[in-house]
Amino acid sequence: MIRSACPSDAADIATIYNHYITGTTVSFEEAPVSTTEMENRLKSVSEASLPWLVFEEDGQLKGYAYASKWKPRSAYRFSVESSVYLRHDCTGRGLGRLLYEALFAELARRGIHSVIGGVALPNEASVALHEKLGMKKIAHFEEVGFKFGKWLDVAYWQKRL
């Protein structure tokens, strides 16, 4: 089931996300986030009138997707950055696609014009997901992140809704 996230989901969301912080280069954060910090992030997305969705199965959160403001200046108000994360043992089942499809539909319903997704490279699965959903690669920045002793590239994909 895909539904809107609520504050009580913050601990599960933080657990999912912290796996990517501590064990991968998918996130450029380097310190795990607390439940309180995740509650604040959920609140920030909600206050921006943007969606945060979760995929729940058998009473457990398996993943989430949300949109945040692309940039703070008002002319950017119809553009957002999208993010999707799955529990590490739930990848490869199509859940990311389901979450992104639901997120994009909700964004279109809210009048959002452009969705931009950033991907730390290399990440073949994330690249494939963005392209499968009709997103087009629009930028590639070389060696803009440094984590686990190595320089990392970031690329961006965009879709107009």
Over residues 55-81, the pLDDT tens digits come to 999 999 999 999 999 999 999 999 999
Q: What is the mean pLDDT of the chain?
A: 97
Q: How many alpha carbons lie under 13 Å from residue 131 in its C-beta half-sphere?
A: 9
pTM of this structure: 0.95
Neighbouring-strand partners of residue 86: 63
Single out the residue of 123, 155, 98 nearest to residue 26, CA to CA: 123
The verdict on domain 2-160 having CATH code 3.40.630.30 is: yes
Beta strands in the chain (DSSP E): 2-4, 52-57, 60-69, 79-86, 114-121, 136-147, 150-160
What tokens does 113 get?
């014009």
Kindly report, residue by residue over 86-109, the tens digit of the pLDDT: 999 999 999 999 999 999 999 999
pLDDT digits (tens, 9 = 90+) for 26-43: 999 999 999 999 999 999
Q: Which two tokens stand for residue 60?
A: 């457990």
User: Contact 125/26 with Cβ under 8 angstroms?
Assistant: no
| Domain layout of the chain by residue ranges | 2-160
* pLDDT per residue as tens digits for the range 9-31: 999 999 999 999 999 999 999 99
d(CA 108, CA 128): 22
**pLDDT tens per residue across span 107-134:** 999 999 999 999 999 999 999 999 999 9
